[in-house]
Amino acid sequence: MLSSSLPKCEDFLFEQLLENWHKYGIDKDQGFSYESLNHDLSRNRVGRIRLLTQCRQLYTFSHAVAVKNKKHWEASLQPLFEFIITHYFQDNRWIFSLDDELNVQDTQSDAYALAFVLLSFSHYYQVTKDARALSYITKTHRFLIDHMQADTGGFYEAYPINNSQIRRQNPHMHLLEGYIAAYETTQEEGYKTVINSLLELALSHFYDSKSKTLIEFFHHDWTVHNEIGHQIEPGHHFEWVWLLHQAYKIEANPEYLELAHHLWGTAIKHGLSEKGGIYNQISNLDYQVLDREKRIWPITEYLKAITVLPIGKEEKQHRIEVAFTFIKEYYFLDEGRWNEYLTEDNQAKDYPLPGTSTYHIFLGLTEVITWAKLNSQASKP
């Protein structure tokens, strides 16, 4: 029953995963998050420390503080924020990464990472009311509009601009997420304008009505990439379902819910493994599985999608319970550790703990916990 599995997942998330990442994954002297941990919870040096990872950790702990109000987590927020603005904001723009010794490594401004500046700074501000966060959100927005916006719609992958780069829907999906958070925090109309433009891009280019799938890879002019354009990810379909429902709260366009319905239908029909979990990749030409491995993040996005869909309560509970059972058996380990990858047969691959995955695990579980508690209260006489 969901009532019995929910407390176990809540304990795993808040008392194990986040507690141990806070204890072992945050540098106590400098305030930054390690890029990765080994399974003995020691630091795994991978040769780079990305802005993306720092922002995902800032988001996760900011949102977690809003949920649980743990003072030692809250105390770590400002040092992490200070580290980000001190080390990654260079020459009035964000750089991509530092090396393990905290020297500047890659000076590109990455659209995907900038999306998480918007998301994390919005949640950081909500908890701390540090006005500097709003200032940096404004600067990030202006840089995206002035230097990374493409004439063909959307944004370029990175700055300096390289027109030969493959263009992807993925950074735009996260920019939508970031701008939704920024708009909800500030009510700034300029952010709403970008939200609407990103959704229009999804309706006009990302969504393929013939296959009812979400295209991942494009050429410069948004034509589907001729070599890898057929490769699609069920996990991103679920991620978009949740985001489209968030966007609908801002702009009640029925096309958003219709798109969410189609993406959900395709992903549950072709993306769920008969052995449990979500496949990494399928083809939109014939829906055959291209990558049978199952990383942890797609099933957390599946959980998020379930919570917002207009399906019956019993079906929601059943789908969540089945997913929880699978996650607890095959992904979650003791001490808040997890298996990042499973094979087709649900065998764990030997892989360290990425600092970017806590964001997915946190939000997936938190959305379910929130939904379950709200519905439990609503059912009481």
Q: Is the pTM of this model over 0.85?
A: yes
Compute the average pLDDT of residues 264-275.
98
Cβ(119)–Cβ(141) below 8 Å? no
Tokens of 58: 């800032």
Tell me, rounded to whole angstroms, the distance of Cα 375 from its chain centroid: 25
Residue 59 to residue 43: CA distance in whole angstroms: 21
Q: Compute φ and ψ for 133, nearest 5 degrees.
A: -60, -40
Residue 116 to residue 173: CA distance in whole angstroms: 11
> Quick one: pLDDT at residue 174?
98
> Quick one: pLDDT at residue 153?
96
* Per-residue pLDDT tens over the stretch 3-56: 778 899 999 999 999 999 999 999 999 999 999 999 999 999 999 999 999 999
Residue 130 to residue 124: CA distance in whole angstroms: 8
> Quick one: pLDDT at residue 1?
62
> Quick one: pLDDT at residue 377?
59
Compute the average pLDDT of residues 158-186.
97
Per cent of the chain over pLDDT 70 is 98
Which CATH code for domain 2-378? Answer: 1.50.10.10
* pLDDT at residue 381 greater than cutoff 80: no
> Quick one: pLDDT at residue 229?
98
**Mean of the per-residue pLDDT values for the chain?**
96
Residue 75: partners with Cβ closer than 8 Å, 6 or more residues away = none
Residue 114 to residue 54: CA distance in whole angstroms: 11
Domain boundaries, the chain: 2-378
Burial of 107 from C-beta contacts in 10 A (0-12 / 13-18 / 19+): middle
> Quick one: pLDDT at residue 379?
52
Cβ(336)–Cβ(17) below 8 Å? yes
Compute the average pLDDT of residues 359-376.
94
Residue 2 pLDDT grade (very low, low, confident, very high; cuts 50, 70, 90): confident
* Per-residue pLDDT tens over the stretch 299-345: 999 999 999 999 999 999 999 999 999 999 999 999 999 999 999 99
Cβ(294)–Cβ(301) below 8 Å? no
Helices (H), the chain: 2-11, 18-20, 51-68, 71-87, 111-128, 131-143, 170-186, 189-201, 234-250, 254-270, 296-308, 313-326, 357-378
Compute the average pLDDT of residues 146-153.
97
Which among 285, 280, 153 is positioned nearest to 212, based on CA atoms? Answer: 285
* Per-residue pLDDT tens over the stretch 232-260: 999 999 999 999 999 999 999 999 999 99
381 against 168, higher pLDDT: 168
